[in-house]
């Protein structure tokens, strides 16, 4: 087995790590960054962009740029582009494919095996969809593990003394809390809780709504219909939010945000930290109940917790940290990098599953015991959810139940499976239903069919059945409308492979344009800095080379760039580089 990578497939950003000499190491992407925006764009010429490049062109191509796809995992959501509908699994696969390519470049080896993390509170459909996304991207997903558990694993490596920790994970789109016991070489999740639809995106949206309302008041213009303007607002809102984590004020300055008959309109709005806090108090308050539930389910009081780990970019918000301090009564730890620790923990688990850890090393000795976040039930008379497996049961786990027929000579039984904590099935998530067929004709109540529900180490539900009368086994597939069929996955995998090579090429071309732009900017800056000490001839030649490159770049946009324009840029870039080196600059 080659190297196993650990992937934190985040709502906003993703991160990949790999073990190097037993130490988890974060992989730098092809753009030179340690995290990759989870953004996918379809450029007008039909190619796909992923990561920084996709994020950077978003305002100019808002309708064809997809953010936060993770929020739709396990649902029927489809994004329609040029008449084709893309599932969240396919979009996520495009992100995973880029991460895989970057990992291959970094390690210099082909990478096929991966451990992917998901929020602890993800249900079966969301986990299954994540696993399918991995398959579409050409990855063999060895294990799906929970994000807070991965963070605890990264933490536990260096802090092996027995303790109880609480992981508070507020990312871009999800909130998770896990209570974990780090024992002697065992990391055991005691309980987990969360909210799958709460994260940094919601904080951004509050700022965006505020800006839209302010602009309506001052300029009488409703920006919500203008997708490009809204994208610019979203980008600025996120920037301002981040600034407010360290500064008390953030300025939103968006020139030419709207155009009317009277001319251009500009936005210039100031947001103070206290205003931001007043806009988002209720969002932060929503994290309190899950923390209390997790502590309650773990049978612990807050005073039993020795350490609180903050994970996810949104825990950088001072008001979030203050809230955690207040709920838990202790100062949260800042030892882990909230953006990277999840991928690092996944890499450790990957190394363990791939047998790549040195025998006897600290990581090789650690045993991980996780739990299922949600109860599993089946529907019984009156729409009641009858529990088979309780939430926070250690996984893998299994439960068997005997089913029989209600009518004489009935040859099949329909069974509906749900996940969730509510009493009535209508309030829980339908995982799917299946039909037990081929039952031998008999009087009502005679057949004895044992159905076994098991939750594997990935937190994914599997079902099997056995006719106890005949010993005949039946294989059962839970069919959920949001999951993709085998054929759909295979087709998507094939398409991803075909597009993959084209996209890599396109990504290379777009990168070239970005690099050329940076070279031009740096050279123009140097020209300005040395305007007094460079001689006339040098300045003339450098200026000329700059103009040539600027012209070549100007003939394209990040979305509209083909081989011809790319080769012109390449030529002009080489010319400028040669000019500079000839001049000894
Ligand atoms: P993650 O999914 O863990 O990468 O978290 C991403 C989220 O964290 C996004 O919503 C970011 O806007 C947010 N984030 C990152 N850095 C900061 C910061 N300094 N202050 C506030 N939010 C941040």
Tokens of 298: 């773990």
Ligand 1 mean position, distance from CA 573 (Å): 35
Q: Is 83 exposed, middle or buried (0-12, 13-18, 19+ CB in 10 A)?
A: exposed
- Alpha-carbon distance of 117 to 151, in angstroms, equals 10
Give, using CA atoms, the residue closest to atom 22 of ligand 1: 314
Of 313, 320, 336, 337, best ligand 1 pocket probe by most atoms within 8 Å of the beta carbon: 313
Of 283, 314, 317, 344, best ligand 1 pocket probe by most atoms within 8 Å of the beta carbon: 314
Of 7, 8, 12, 317, best ligand 1 pocket probe by most atoms within 8 Å of the beta carbon: 12
Give, using CA atoms, the residue closest to atom 4 of ligand 1: 13
Tokens of 340: 């990277």
Which atom of ligand 1 lies at the shortest distance from residue 245's CA? Answer: 20
Helices and strands counted in the chain (H then E)? 14, 27
Which atom of ligand 1 lies at the shortest distance from residue 10's CA? Answer: 2
The residues that bridge with 170 in the sheet, in sequence order, are 175
* pTM more than 0.95: no
In this predicted structure, what is the pLDDT of residue 482? 64
Which atom of ligand 1 lies at the shortest distance from residue 203's CA? Answer: 10
Ligand 1 mean position, distance from CA 574 (Å): 38
The DSSP 8-state label assigned to residue 27 in this structure reads P
- Alpha-carbon distance of 55 to 397, in angstroms, equals 41
Extract the residue ranges of the chain whose pLDDT is less than 50: none
In this predicted structure, what is the pLDDT of residue 390? 93
Which atom of ligand 1 lies at the shortest distance from residue 14's CA? Answer: 4
Ligand 1 mean position, distance from CA 300 (Å): 30
Catalytically annotated residues:
8, 70, 147, 169
Give, using CA atoms, the residue closest to atom 15 of ligand 1: 313
Judging by DSSP bridges, how do beta strands 186-195 and 367-371 pair with one another?
parallel
Which atom of ligand 1 lies at the shortest distance from residue 311's CA? Answer: 3
The DSSP 8-state label assigned to residue 3 in this structure reads P
In this predicted structure, what is the pLDDT of residue 381? 79
If phi > 0 it is left, if psi is from -120 to 50 it is alpha, else beta; for residue 148 that is alpha
DSSP 367-386: EEEEE-SS-EEEEEGGGEEE
Ligand 1 mean position, distance from CA 428 (Å): 30
Ligand 1 mean position, distance from CA 384 (Å): 40
- Alpha-carbon distance of 529 to 546, in angstroms, equals 15
Give, using CA atoms, the residue closest to atom 18 of ligand 1: 242
Cα–Cα distances (Å) from 544 to 407, 520, 583, in that order, read 89, 12, 14
Ligand 1 mean position, distance from CA 200 (Å): 6
Ligand 1 mean position, distance from CA 238 (Å): 8
In this predicted structure, what is the pLDDT of residue 57? 85
Which atom of ligand 1 lies at the shortest distance from residue 313's CA? Answer: 8
Residues 476-531 pLDDT 10s: 777 665 677 778 888 888 887 777 666 666 667 777 887 888 889 889 888 888 88
In this predicted structure, what is the pLDDT of residue 542? 93
Q: Is 127 exposed, middle or buried (0-12, 13-18, 19+ CB in 10 A)?
A: buried
Ligand 1 mean position, distance from CA 488 (Å): 34
- Alpha-carbon distance of 420 to 431, in angstroms, equals 10
In this predicted structure, what is the pLDDT of residue 505? 65
Residues having CB within 6 Å of any atom of ligand 1? 10-13, 171-172, 200-201, 238, 241-242, 245, 312-314, 316-317, 339
Sequence-distant (≥ 6) Cβ neighbours of residue 301 within 8 angstroms: 295
Give, using CA atoms, the residue closest to atom 8 of ligand 1: 313
Cα–Cα–Cα angle for 386, 387, 392, nearest 5°?
A: 160
């Amino acid at each position: 087995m080659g190297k196993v990578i650990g992937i934190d497939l985040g709502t906003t950003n993703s991160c990949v790590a790999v073990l190097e000499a037993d130490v988890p190491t974060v992989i730098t992407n092809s753009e030179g960054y340690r995290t990759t925006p989870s953004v996918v764009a379809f450029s007008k010429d039909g190619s796909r962009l992923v990561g920084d490049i996709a994020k950077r062109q978003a305002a100019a191509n808002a309708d064809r740029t997809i953010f936060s796809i993770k929020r739709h995992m396990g649902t029927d959501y489809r994004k329609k582009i040029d008449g084709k509908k893309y599932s969240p699994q396919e979009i996520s696969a495009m992100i995973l494919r880029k991460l895989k390519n970057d990992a291959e470049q970094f390690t210099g080896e082909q990478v096929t095996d991966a451990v992917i993390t998901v929020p602890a509170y993800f249900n079966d459909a969301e986990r299954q969809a994540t696993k399918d996304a991995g398959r579409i991207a050409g990855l063999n997903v060895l294990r799906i593990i929970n994000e807070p558990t991965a963070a605890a694993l990264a933490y536990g490596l260096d802090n092996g003394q027995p303790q109880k920790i609480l992981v508070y994970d507020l990312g871009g789109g999800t909130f998770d809390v896990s209570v974990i016991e780090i024992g002697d070489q065992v990391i055991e999740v005691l309980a987990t809780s969360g909210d799958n639809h709460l994260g940094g995106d919601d904080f951004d949206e509050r700022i965006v709504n505020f800006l839209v309302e302010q602009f309506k008041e001052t300029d009488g213009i409703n920006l919500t219909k203008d997708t490009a303007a809204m994208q610019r607002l979203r980008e600025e809102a996120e920037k301002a939010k981040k600034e407010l984590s360290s500064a008390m004020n953030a300025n939103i300055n968006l020139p030419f945000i709207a155009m009317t008959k009277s001319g251009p309109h500009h936005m210039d709005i100031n947001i103070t930290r206290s205003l931001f806090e007043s806009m988002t108090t209720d969002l932060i308050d929503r994290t309190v109940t899950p923390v209390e539930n997790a502590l309650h389910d773990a049978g612990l009081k807050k005073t039993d917790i020795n350490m609180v780990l903050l994970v996810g970019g949104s825990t950088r918000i001072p008001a979030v940290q203050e809230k955690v301090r207040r709920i838990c009564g202790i100062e949260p730890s800042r030892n882990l990098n909230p953006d990277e620790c999840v991928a690092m923990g996944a890499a450790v688990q990957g190394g363990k599953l791939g047998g790549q850890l040195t025998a006897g090393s600290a990581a090789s000795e650690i045993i991980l015991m996780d739990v299922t976040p949600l109860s599993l039930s089946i529907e019984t008379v009156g729409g009641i959810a009858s529990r088979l497996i309780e939430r926070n049961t250690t996984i893998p786990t299994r439960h068997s139940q005997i089913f029989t027929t209600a009518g004489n000579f009935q040859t099949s039984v329909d069974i509906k499976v749900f996940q969730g904590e509510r009493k009535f099935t209508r309030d829980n998530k339908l995982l799917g239903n299946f039909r037990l067929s081929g039952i031998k004709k008999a009087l009502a109540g005679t057949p004895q069919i044992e159905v076994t529900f098991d939750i594997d180490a990935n937190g994914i539900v599997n079902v099997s059945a056995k006719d106890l009368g005949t010993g005949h086994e039946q294989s059962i597939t839970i069919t959920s409308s949001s999951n993709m069929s085998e054929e759909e996955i295979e087709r998507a995998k094939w398409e991803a492979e075909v597009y993959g090579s084209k996209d890599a090429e396109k990504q290379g071309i777009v990168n070239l344009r970005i690099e050329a732009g940076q070279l031009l900017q740096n050279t123009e800056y140097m020209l300005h800095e040395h305007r007094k000490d460079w001689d006339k001839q040098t300045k003339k030649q450098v200026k000329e080379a700059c103009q040539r490159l600027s012209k070549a770049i100007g003939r394209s946009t990040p979305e509209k760039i083909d081989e011809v324009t790319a080769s012109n840029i390449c030529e002009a870039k080489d010319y400028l580089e040669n000019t500079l080196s000839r001049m000894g600059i």
